[in-house]
Amino acid sequence: MRSMRFERVFVRASAACVGPMEGAGPLGKHFDHVSADLYDGEDSFEKAEIAWVKRACDRTLRKAGMVPSQLEGAIGGDLMNQLLATHYFARSLSAPFIGVYAACATSSLAMGMAALCIEQQQTRNMLVVTSSHNATAERQYRFPNEYGVQKKETTTTTVSAGTAVLLSDARTQIQVSGCTLGRIIDWHFSDASDMGTAMAPAAFDTLMRHLSLTKTSLSDYDQILTGDLSAAGFALFKDLLQQQGYASLEMLDDCGLLIYDRLRQPVFCGGSGSACAMCVTIAHVFEQMRTGQLDRVLVIATGALLSPVATFQKQSIPCIAHAIEYQRREA
């Protein structure tokens, strides 16, 4: 499969509504809403996650000067079983909806599929939503936070947030110019407390394929961001590139390392979660593209496709990474 190239897809508006830990991080002032706690006024963590997605959607549409009835389609996903937060949020939409799952790579998969629909002129706009919640994800994939289970140094902290991006065929400063879908990569890592290391080979594979398919090099991009490898996985990712002869890696960074301050926040290796890459894309990439600080950016969202059942059966963790390319254009 070739890398998909887009000419008519642009970011019209976006919003990210986050929890208190994310709001206290380096990008805090760029988020649209910061909740005081993980309940956000609701009586369960699941309802809080749904509320974050709805608030992000409302703010995105408000920025675009639209109402929900003007949406022609929506796509998104989260980390909970049956895409609980996404599907329950989508009850309020009248537009056709597609639920997708790629673990923490869901944001790039959803962006790519939405962009494809617009590029093929099947719709004029698509809303892309993603979310994750520290308490719901820890409960589902590891242990409930309330148990107080000791965490390893390689553990990542699931980002608590709801995000929304409105794509359309109306020209803006930020163009979604391409998408390279990833392959399932499994290097036989099985530690659910070190998913960054498990995902690094998938990020490396997608980046190498993207560069080959698009005939570009690392230096063609102002910034290349992996989704949530965080400290342990990002170190392996860079090591794999150096083994291939790449020496200049200053354009590389990781969303899981950008969203938190590891020196003063208790986040272990950094951030993770299906909202991680999109939070940083909205608060960092889009902001700097609008001000002219960045012109061409590649975001490679990474996902560990583990199942708690498979983990308990000592199976390894298959992983995937999808890449989305953004370019700054004159509006």
The closest alpha carbon to 1, from 264, 180, 194, belongs to 180
The closest alpha carbon to 29, from 288, 253, 228, 284, belongs to 284
Residue range 155-180, pLDDT digits in tens: 899 999 999 999 999 999 999 999 99
pLDDT of 111 strictly over 90: yes
Residue range 269-284, pLDDT digits in tens: 999 999 999 999 999 9
Indicate the pairing of strand 174-180 with strand 319-328: antiparallel
Q: In Å, how far are 28, 115, 165, 196, 219 from 262, measured between CA atoms?
A: 14, 34, 27, 15, 28
**Which segment of 151-155, 162-166, 179-183, 246-250 scores lowest on mean pLDDT?**
151-155
pLDDT of 42 strictly over 80: yes
Q: Which two tokens stand for residue 166?
A: 């409105």
Confidence at residue 105, expressed as pLDDT on a 0 to 100 scale: 98
With a CB cutoff of 8 Å and minimum separation 6, the contacts of 51 are 40, 41, 42, 162
pLDDT of 89 strictly over 80: yes
Across residues 292-314, what is the average pLDDT? Answer: 93
Question: Would you say 171 and 329 are in contact if contact means Cβ atoms under 8 Å apart?
Answer: yes
Task: Identify the band that residue 138 occupies on the pLDDT scale cut at 50, 70 and 90.
Answer: confident
Positions of CATH 3.40.47.40 in the chain? 4-168, 174-328
Task: Identify the band that residue 307 occupies on the pLDDT scale cut at 50, 70 and 90.
Answer: confident
Confidence at residue 193, expressed as pLDDT on a 0 to 100 scale: 87
Q: What is the CATH number of domain 174-328?
A: 3.40.47.40
Residue with tokens 């309802």: 47
Distance separating alpha carbons of residues 155 and 296, to the nearest angstrom = 31
Confidence at residue 331, expressed as pLDDT on a 0 to 100 scale: 73
Confidence at residue 157, expressed as pLDDT on a 0 to 100 scale: 94
Task: Identify the band that residue 100 occupies on the pLDDT scale cut at 50, 70 and 90.
Answer: very high
Across residues 96-103, what is the average pLDDT? Answer: 98
With a CB cutoff of 8 Å and minimum separation 6, the contacts of 315 are 190
Confidence at residue 1, expressed as pLDDT on a 0 to 100 scale: 84
Highest mean pLDDT range out of 147-156, 225-234, 308-317? Answer: 225-234
Q: What percent of the chain has pLDDT over 90?
A: 89
pLDDT of 145 strictly over 80: no
Looking at domain 4-168, which CATH architecture does it have?
Answer: 3-Layer(aba) Sandwich (3.40)
pLDDT of 149 strictly over 90: no
Confidence at residue 153, expressed as pLDDT on a 0 to 100 scale: 83
Confidence at residue 304, expressed as pLDDT on a 0 to 100 scale: 96
pLDDT of 140 strictly over 80: no
